[in-house]
Each structure stands twice: as structure tokens, then as C-alpha cells.
């Protein structure tokens, strides 16, 4: 739940583009014509307050199994979705779990007063990197 919440707040890739293979009718009746290239804002989806209340607040309980039943599977897409999603998704999630587990096994993580600032590039980064305070 913590890893998913971190990916919700700070998706590594903030936007993707897709070419419509057919006309798409939106809920309000407007139509996106076939062959139009659409930009999908993953960051925007993840920070939509109508889907995610308090989208800037870290709350891992959003991903409690009881809380995800009514949510669309397309509301959380840190690795994109569909046939062109990230090939490394399973590896990346596994790597995150292993690194987190080994870090917490060996160290005590201390709070840090410095809030990371987002640096918008091809991928979302932390300006100046992420510093982790630990004790043994």
C-alpha cells in the first residue's frame, strides 16, 4: 500500500501519448476522432480530487483492499495500462519491495524535515535527489 501510494503521488512517468484507433465518444457526448494523438496525463489522473480525495496527502490506506473495490482500474496507472504498458512493471515493483524490506530490516528510517521538490523532466525526479536519514 505504501509503494502504491508513493507511485500515486509521484508517478515516474507523468504523461503518455496514444493514437486513437477508432472514434472515442466521451461521457459528455464529444467525440475524439480516429487517428488523433491524445496526451494522457498520468500525474493529472493521480491527482484528480474527484477520484482521489486529498490527492497531495500521503495516505497508503487508499489502497486498502476495502477501499479499491469501487475505483476504476484506470484510476491508478503508474506504469501505463493496456497492451502498451511498461514491460518492466513487475520487475520494478518487485525491486521496490525488496529494497524497502531490506532497508527496513537493517535500518531505522528517521524523519526528515526537507520536503522533496518535483523536477519535471522526461521522467519525474526529485530536485537535488532524495536523501534518506537512517540509523543502525
1-12 residue pLDDT tens: 999 999 999 999
Under DSSP, is residue 19 helix (H, G, I), strand (E, B) or coil? strand
Give binding residues as ranges: 86
Give binding residues for heme as ranges: 86
Closest among 103, 76, 106 to 89, alpha carbons compared: 76
Over residues 78-125, the pLDDT tens digits come to: 999 888 888 999 999 999 999 999 999 999 998 877 788 899 888 899
Which CATH code fits 2-135?
Answer: 1.10.630.10
Domain residue spans of the chain: 2-135
Task: Say if CB 71 and CB 15 are below 8 A apart.
Answer: no
Q: Which helix (H) or strand (E) holds 101?
A: helix 89-106
Over residues 8-43, the pLDDT tens digits come to: 999 999 999 999 999 999 999 999 999 999 999 999
List the grid coordinates of 35: 487517428
The pTM of the full predicted model, rounded to 2 decimals, is 0.86
Amino acid at each position: 500500500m505504501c509503494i502504491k501510494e508513493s507511485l500515486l503521488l509521484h508517478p515516474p512517468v507523468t504523461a503518455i501519448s496514444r493514437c486513437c484507433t477508432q472514434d472515442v465518444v466521451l461521457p459528455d457526448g464529444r467525440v475524439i476522432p480516429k487517428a488523433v494523438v491524445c496526451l494522457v496525463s498520468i500525474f493529472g489522473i493521480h491527482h484528480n480530487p474527484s477520484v482521489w480525495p486529498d490527492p497531495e496527502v500521503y495516505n497508503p490506506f487508499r489502497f486498502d483492499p476495502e477501499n479499491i473495490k469501487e475505483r476504476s482500474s484506470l484510476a491508478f496507472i503508474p506504469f501505463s495500462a493496456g497492451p502498451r504498458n511498461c514491460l518492466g512493471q513487475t520487475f520494478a515493483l518487485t525491486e521496490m519491495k525488496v529494497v524497502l524490506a531490506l532497508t527496513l530490516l537493517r535500518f531505522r528510517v528517521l524523519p526528515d524535515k526537507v520536503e522533496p521538490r518535483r523536477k519535471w523532466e522526461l521522467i519525474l525526479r526529485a530536485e537535488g535527489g532524495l536523501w534518506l536519514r537512517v540509523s543502525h
